[in-house]
Amino acid sequence: MNSTMRVLVIGSGGREHALCWKIAQSPLVDKIFCAPGNGGIAQVAECLDIKADDVAGLLDFAKREKIDLTVVGPEAALSLGIVDEFSKYKLRIFGPSKAAALLEASKVFSKKLMAKYNIPTASFKVFDNPGEAKEYIKNIGAPCVVKADGLAAGKGVVVAKTIDEAEKAVSLMMEDKVFKDAGSKIIIEECLEGEEASILVITDSRDVAVLASAQDHKRIFDNDAGPNTGGMGVYSPASIVTPGLLNDVLDKIIYPAIRGLHKEGIDYRGVLYAGVMITKSGPKALEFNVRFGDPETQAILPRLKSDLVEVMLAVSEGKLVKVKNLDWDNRACVCVVLASKGYPGDYEKDKEIYGLDEAVQIKDIAVFHAGTKLRKINDIGQKAELEYLTSAGRVLGVVGLGDTIKDAIDNVYQAVEKISFEGMHYRRDIGKRALIAARRGL
């Protein structure tokens, strides 16, 4: 493959900005498109007015523009079967098939696969009747976890501390249909205790390339208080994921899932992401995702020294064995998410963002845009002046590297202080768990 590759990245968030940023570093790549992209992604890719779930529009563009490789960011396009459609036309695409994407698109499918292939996970029961679900909750008591079966934009899981909370979650999902058809079936499962970690691998169904571990911070406020979000920050490597624990997760969770799918007639190609709870009795699978995590990707890719495009091409050709030993930067990486006022509830938009240029002038800092748009403010007979405005709940991911986790934390918060927009909110304790572990010598 010569260095004139044209790559299409699908999606519009911080994960996709990180992917475009990393792909742009490959000597194989000449041109990057992103559909639909965002204000920051426009720095490294040509943004297209095509929605991420418009499979027909994306296919038409890829055929017309002779795209050499398509990289799918969000799960929606994967669950709609974009990989199957592109494959019909011999178009290279990185991501799992529609059948494989069920691992994330249906929590019922995922849990049944775990049960069948003895993958350690929380005990569970499936319901399609709200009355029976509530009766079961009364019998088992709280805490328990209520999950909508289908895709619900990361909001379909309720960790209920009381029976009342659990019953309300059932009502919202099954009777009020807040997630539409995604809540027509639900899972009620035991509430696992421990510390969470994210383990991501890239696979072509035969071989596996293990990505650096990461630990996400889901709650909106410091010390894990407040409601769950799409992720308020992340650090890599995760201090809790020792080499021994990683091997445990691979042997008991990742490999059995890939082999199990293969036995079901499903070849899994792409990223497989396991959300894992490290319990007293060992690691247990909380969920599988079928794509790069967000914001995990923003902390993992800056540490990857290998050419990501080479790896993706190898997966699409079933030849991962040639490049599966990835090269990593030994430094730590921390990502702090800057969010809009009100997130994860109703949030404000169209706030001007200041200080981005100053932040990226700091050594070993990158800023990935999650929800921004560009506005021209001066376009009279000269080069247009542009400003960035907020356009989503999660606005920016500020990323910093450091020789130690403390160095990375200090570096990233120094950059965060340079950036401002009205109502900006962020957590000030990202990576704190790793600092505590480092002090204990873990």
Q: Mean of the pLDDT values across residues 148-157?
A: 85
Q: Return phi, psi of residue 28, to 5°.
A: -80, -20
User: pTM for the complete prediction?
Assistant: 0.94
Q: Which residue is associated with the tokens 């202080």?
A: 417
386 band by pLDDT with thresholds 50, 70 and 90:
confident
133 band by pLDDT with thresholds 50, 70 and 90:
very high
End-to-end Cα distance, the chain: 44
Spell out the alpha helix ranges (H) of 107-265: 107-116, 130-140, 163-170, 243-249, 255-263
| 134 has a pLDDT exceeding 80 | yes
CA distance 22 to 299: 12
Taking residue 45's Cβ as centre, other Cβ atoms within 10 Å add up to 24
3 band by pLDDT with thresholds 50, 70 and 90:
low
Model confidence pLDDT, tens digit, residues 163-208 = 999 999 999 999 999 999 999 999 999 999 998 899 999 999 999 9
Q: Mean of the pLDDT values across residues 65-75?
A: 97
With H, G, I as helix, E, B as strand and everything else as coil, classify residue 8: strand
Per DSSP bridges, beta strands 29-36 and 5-11 are: parallel
CA distance 117 to 276: 17
| 424 has a pLDDT exceeding 80 | yes
Model confidence pLDDT, tens digit, residues 233-275 = 999 999 889 999 999 999 999 999 999 999 999 999 999 999 9
Q: Which residues pair with 10 in a beta bridge?
A: 35, 72
* Residues sharing a CB contact under 8 Å with residue 338, sequence separation 6 or more, in sequence order: 394, 395, 396, 397, 398, 416, 419, 421, 424, 425, 426
Task: Indicate the average pLDDT of the chain.
Answer: 94
| 384 has a pLDDT exceeding 70 | no
Q: Mean of the pLDDT values across residues 66-73?
A: 97
155 band by pLDDT with thresholds 50, 70 and 90:
confident
Q: Return phi, psi of residue 335, to 5°.
A: -120, 125
